Amino acid sequence: MLKKSVGIILMALLVMVLGVQSGFAAETANKLPNIKILATGGTIAGSAASATATTGYKAGALGIDVLINAVPEVKQYANVSGEQICSIDSKDMTNEIWLTLAKRINVLLADDSVDGIVITHGTDTLEETAYFLNLTVKSNKPVVLVGSMRPATAISADGPMNLLNAVRVAANKAAVGKGVLVAMNDEINGARDVTKTNTTSVSTFKAPELGFLGYINDGKPEFYRESTRRHTADSEFTTKNLSQLPYVKVIYGHADDDGIFVDAAVAAGAKGIIYAGTGNGSIHKNAEAALAKATAKGIVVVRSSRVGNGTVIDAEQSYIDEHFLNGDSLSPQKARILLSLALTKTSNLAEIQKMFNEY
């Protein structure tokens, strides 16, 4: 009888302890921010034939649940849940996916129960998606893009730590209001200035001229600066009623250039052209003649540069006379995004130039 009573008492104590632990765990979870992870595919979800293969893999082969389960440590920093937007190699990114992604993010961030977003993405066009969202997300809540340079099946896969750090950044209050961010290789970059600088290195994402926004120091996000350009909640652009974007083409300038691609873009129905010129957005005389004809037809032409650093400013008087706009310090691929969105608002050249000066 005594043994039975002791057994009952011990069982009751065990139930009580487990109940306390369960309650503590639930209370801890309730205090953590709620982060939604949206997956688009890419190398971070890639699968290769062997553990030593870092090329020749299938991008986007693994679903978001697999990625989250592979990094259980994320649950120490946030309550996470995943959603698969698409499963592509990011070289195949489209405007239509961008619109779907932006609309979904805006719906999620309008919900008070969602504190931030992490987006897993391939690295080839990650900087472009980041900048598009930087102009179209209508919230100050953190939005962080993350990818990897090695597939998930590689011995030295960088994806798991990058994903953990992205969640750490999205869950950190210091990330609020910083615009769309990119967190990779223990570094935090802003969407406007970041670019992929190396074909294969894990330290490929940098802002060569303006620098990182911060670092992830031993798991703790630390910010040292922020962008002064308009973004996210302060942006005038919206995707709410958009089903497509105006067609804008990038044309790359070079020695012995001609106007063939300019004419082709016009014939294809381009509403805008970004000319990635030499030096300070300089344009070969043959291409300039074709671009002048394009502006006369109402097509907006923006001078950018293939150099990679520096600001495109007024140069030759003919560019001013022909009504070419300046792309500021945006790369050609990001200038294309801003011009596409600008054309959803206006075709007035002065207003569009103002946008390039502000964003």
Whole-angstrom distance, CA of residue 251 vs CA of residue 236: 27
Whole-angstrom distance, CA of residue 261 vs CA of residue 140: 40
**Residue 262, C-beta contacts closer than 8 angstroms, at least 6 positions apart:** 251, 273, 287, 290, 291, 293, 294
Respond yes or no: is residue 43 known to be catalytic: yes
- Amino acid (1-letter code) at residue 312: V
> Smallest Cα–Cα separation from 131: which of 207, 208, 68, 203?
207
Catalytic residue among 40, 43, 123, 239: 43
> Do 175 and 146 contact (CB within 8 A), yes or no?
no
Whole-angstrom distance, CA of residue 255 vs CA of residue 178: 40
Long-range contacts of 333-338 (CB under 8 A, 24+ apart): 333/127, 333/128, 333/250, 334/127, 334/128, 334/131, 334/192, 335/250, 335/274, 335/302, 335/304, 336/248, 336/249, 336/250, 336/272, 336/274, 337/128, 337/131, 337/132, 337/135, 338/131, 338/135
Q: What are phi and psi of 268, to 5 degrees?
A: -80, -5
Tokens of 123: 């690295």
Whole-angstrom distance, CA of residue 149 vs CA of residue 133: 22
- Amino acid (1-letter code) at residue 199: T
> Do 304 and 331 contact (CB within 8 A), yes or no?
yes
Count of alpha carbons within 13 angstroms of residue 171, beta-carbon side:
24
Active site residues: 43
